[in-house]
Amino acid sequence: MTGGMPIGDDDLHGYVDQRLTPERMAAVEAYIATHPDAAAQVLQYREQRDALRSALQHKYDEPVPVRLRVAGIQAERRRRWRRSLGRVAAAGLWLLIGAAGGWIANEELTATPPVRVAASSALPANAVAQEALTAHRIFAAEVRHPVEVDVTQEKHLVEWLSKRLARPLRVPDLSAQGYRLMGGRLLPASAGPAAQFMYDDGTGRRLTVYLTAEDGGETSFRYVQDGELGGFYWRDAGFGYAVLAQADRRDLLATAEAIYRQTDDTVPVSGR
């Protein structure tokens, strides 16, 4: 033992490996000079160290594998990042292609030839058609609540919707076309509130008339179809109209013309 901390096995290993402070190295050296057992232990540790170094020298002389070098690790990380970025970019491209395809399909669906002479307007008429299609699919399938206000309150329904659309409405009479009024409801639309009148033909087939307040000029009749659901849409007399049903195109055109005559009888309509 020295005048300081006692010498232990860790000190002997540190002495062999030259890992002690100069002061501690001197203390251990003085200790083993007076302790033959400690000196023998130090000699044994040195022999073991030299044997291990000799056995592993060939590994020590080999170059560090590329996969374990810092530069190699960083390069691999960069490659993985580029691959991930490529996958994200590819996914984004497919999303863009899908969105473009949907837009093109929508344009193809709605761009049908006009029946009457078209005129310009602020809001595209096909926006009314798309909103009307969505509203029809949602509410025409309803069994218990197809309308918000039923036909028994028709006067209240017309007054209420006229107030909300800020202009007087007329409910089309489609009895000559085989449809009776069920009632109607108020709906949100891109140009403000919209009204939907619902009819049925007594066999379960439902027809809807969709109206929005529009300040644009008169537009043509245009046909729109989504699966089995078809209809005509147009703009006239301060309203955007759409009439929709799962019916023959000619029957729908006749219904659209009847609505047009009832809402604006100042302009004759061709029978095309």
3-state DSSP assignment of residue 202: coil
pLDDT the model gives residue 268: 47
pLDDT the model gives residue 110: 43
207 bridge partner residues: 199
Within 8 A by CB and 6+ apart from 252, the residues are 223, 230, 231, 232, 243, 244, 245
User: Two tokens at 73?
Assistant: 């690790």
pTM for the predicted model, two decimal places: 0.53
Between CA 32 and CA 7 the distance in angstroms is 9
CATH class of 114-263: alpha beta
3-state DSSP assignment of residue 150: strand
From residue 165, alpha-carbon distances to 41, 56, 196, 235 in Å are 103, 91, 12, 15
pLDDT the model gives residue 95: 53
Between CA 255 and CA 260 the distance in angstroms is 9
Between CA 63 and CA 59 the distance in angstroms is 8
Dihedral in degrees, nearest 10, Cα atoms 221, 247, 159, 149: -150
pLDDT in tens, the chain (272 residues): 555 678 888 888 888 888 889 999 999 899 999 999 988 888 888 888 877 777 666 655 666 555 555 566 666 677 776 666 666 555 555 555 455 555 444 444 444 443 332 333 344 557 788 899 999 999 999 988 999 999 999 999 999 999 999 999 999 999 999 999 999 999 988 878 999 999 999 999 999 999 998 876 677 789 999 999 999 999 887 889 999 999 999 999 999 999 999 987 554 444 33
